[in-house]
Amino acid sequence: MPRIRVDERKPFDISLRQFKRACEKAGIVKEMRERQHYIKPTEQRKIAKRAAIKRARKASRAAFYPRAFR
């Protein structure tokens, strides 16, 4: 859990913003979003495979048309 030092002279908004930034850096928000819904392992593999295919297609288009996709 990220910790920040709260100064009494600073406004609350600034301390809250610092805390949110620290949580973002620690990856808490990303992990929370991933854990909101359970995805079966087979579904995770399907999603990863589709993403890999999409990246490969984009790379091949970028290699064929060097200026169009950058």
Cα–Cα distance, 20 to 49 (Å, whole number): 33
Q: What is the pLDDT of residues 16-62, one digit of tens each?
A: 999 999 999 999 998 998 899 999 999 999 999 999 999 999 998 88
Report pLDDT for 41: 95
Structure tokens at 38: 């359970």
The pTM is what? 0.52
CB atoms within 10 A of CB 36: 6
2 contacts: CB under 8 Å, gap ≥ 6: 19, 22, 23, 25, 26, 28
pLDDT of residue 43: 96
Q: What is the pLDDT of residue 36?
A: 93
Rounded to an integer, the average pLDDT of 5-19 is 91
